[in-house]
């Protein structure tokens, strides 16, 4: 695992703007936002990527999606819409090898 910045956030060793936390996930504002609202949602346990999530807690991905919906509500973007996405591997743009979901919204996003 080495020095994972996201594990540092979970353990309180890296300062950031945490917006949601529970027993399974931590969510915080992205320091380089791609939209007006850009929150990263990560499992508290170090899991390298979506492929490695297979065989772990079977409800984890659903739990992350529920957290995303709760955060969207808190950020007042539920009615206008939001996007939740995960990058898997370097070709997809995964820059940090700790599973993370991007919650984007608060403005009109380009269709993909």
Residue-number span of the structural domain to which 56 is assigned: 5-105
Q: What are the pLDDT digits (tens) for 36-76?
A: 999 999 999 999 999 899 888 889 999 999 999 999 999 99
Q: Look at residue 84 and tell me if it is in a domain.
A: yes
Q: Look at residue 112 and tell me if it is in a domain.
A: no
Catalytic annotation, pick one of 54, 63, 98, 100: 100
Q: Look at residue 12 and tell me if it is in a domain.
A: yes
Total structural domains in the chain?
A: 1
Nearest CA-CA partner of 87 in 111, 105, 104 = 104
Q: Look at residue 111 and tell me if it is in a domain.
A: no
Provide the whole-model pTM.
0.94
CATH number at residue 14: 3.30.428.10
Q: Look at residue 110 and tell me if it is in a domain.
A: no
The CA distance from 77 to 47, in Å, is: 28
| Residues pairing with 37 in the sheet | 105
Catalytic annotation present for 54: no
């Amino acid at each position: 695992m080495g020095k994972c910045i996201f594990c540092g956030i979970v353990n309180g060793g890296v300062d950031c703007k945490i917006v949601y936390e529970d027993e399974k996930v931590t969510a915080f504002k992205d320091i380089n936002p791609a939209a007006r609202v850009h929150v990263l949602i990560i499992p508290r346990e170090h899991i390298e990527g979506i492929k490695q999530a297979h065989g772990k807690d079977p409800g984890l991905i659903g739990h992350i999606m529920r957290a995303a919906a709760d955060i969207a509500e808190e950020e007042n973007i539920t009615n206008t819409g939001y996007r939740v996405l995960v990058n898997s591997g370097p070709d997809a743009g995964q820059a940090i090898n700790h599973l993370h979901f991007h919650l984007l919204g608060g403005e009109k996003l380009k269709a993909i």
